[in-house]
Amino acid sequence: MQLCPTVGAKAYNVAGVGWNLRLVKDDMKHGGNIPQRTAVNGETTIGQKKDGELSNQNEMLAVEFCGMKFATPQVLLSGCVGFGEEYTRVEGFSNRDVGAICLKGTTGTARLGNAPHRVIETPSGMINAIGLQNPGAPYVVNDILPALDFNETRFIANVSGSTIEEYIEVTRLFDDSPIDAIEINISCPNVKEGGVAFGNDPAMSARVVEACRAVTNKPLITKLSPNQTDIAYNAKRCIEAGTDAFAVINTLMGMAIDIEQRTPIIGNNQGGLSGPAIKPVALLKTHQVYQVCKGHNIPIIGQGGIMTAEDAIEFMIAGASAVGVGTALFYDPLVCPKINAGLVEYMARHGMSNISQLVGTLQLN
């Protein structure tokens, strides 16, 4: 089922936002039945009973990523699920439906973020400029991580900074924590270089990766920006600097204008565009980065506008080993089990035993 690409980003009607919000499955508009999670020999099987037998969906969906076993190829993206607990307040939602969760971008010290407005719905997407609001790495490590259930899924820290020294500081803190892997957000502005984003310059990108690599043995996932001239060359430099994987892509920069006031709607003037509008760009960038990665066995989390199983399949064919889901959660918090069901149905139709068989199978004209 192709979902309508509308976001509904007003804070008061976004499912999963309110502290006491409990949504009932019957209140949601579903494209089909949600597969039930069933405990089998101590493990969670994602599927439904058919003819008295449990589906083997868990085996079909399980993938390996940087030596970690993901229960499914889905990864919830940084900034869309807080610090891993927000959507667990929604009835029917489970962290066990995804392979990993990327926590909110974290800096060395607490940040209040940007002035409002921070989010605006746009045609087939949304623009956000939160400004890395977070409580700081020490609080995340000491107070938030201990409350997470690491038996449910993998948790990936998102490291952000304004200087290379800050990246090092935050990475070192997460290295001494139970976090499973570290994602480097290199789209942050470098305050020592006139505010140019680290991720838009291959040399600066490599310097950040190299600095983080020196202080951790945990898997490093570099989140690549589409707002640069040659994303494949940047990926090459980051591989040489020691990255273990990539997340492709981060948001595209965009703007929305209030025509009556003749001012930008976003308080920061510009922000990151996500959602279905950026999917064609994200697919191309994933394919381009895969051409560099495949010779080094470097996996990719493909992301940008994934709303359905069909979207996820496209990214895996283009070269992604896992797929990121973010904006889709704002209008359907229960989209993940639907994507899982769609992936299994596709594999069954094509005689496949595991979703990894799809990776990089694109045949160019």
Query: What does the alpha-carbon distance between residue 238 and residue 235 come to, in Å, rounded to a whole number?
Result: 5
Q: Are 3 and 307 a contacting pair, CB within 8 Å?
A: yes
For residue 307, give both structure tokens.
């709303």
Find the mean pLDDT for residues 315-344: 97
Find the mean pLDDT for residues 115-129: 97
Question: What residues are labeled active site?
Answer: 188
Structure confidence at residue 192 (pLDDT)? 77
Structure confidence at residue 331 (pLDDT)? 87
Structure confidence at residue 53 (pLDDT)? 36
Structure confidence at residue 81 (pLDDT)? 95
Find the mean pLDDT for residues 54-67: 89
Find the mean pLDDT for residues 288-314: 98
Name the maximum alpha-carbon separation found in the chain: 64
Structure confidence at residue 41 (pLDDT)? 39
Structure confidence at residue 56 (pLDDT)? 87
Domain spans of the chain?
A: 11-358
pTM: 0.87
Give percent of the chain with pLDDT exceeding 90. 81
For residue 344, give both structure tokens.
């299994």
Task: Please check the confidence at residue 40 and state whether its pLDDT lies above 60.
Answer: no
Q: Are 190 and 204 a contacting pair, CB within 8 Å?
A: yes
Structure-model confidence comparison of residues 212 and 331, the more confident one? 212
Structure confidence at residue 55 (pLDDT)? 59
Task: Name the average pLDDT for the chain.
Answer: 88
CATH topology of domain 11-358: TIM Barrel (3.20.20)
Structure confidence at residue 226 (pLDDT)? 96
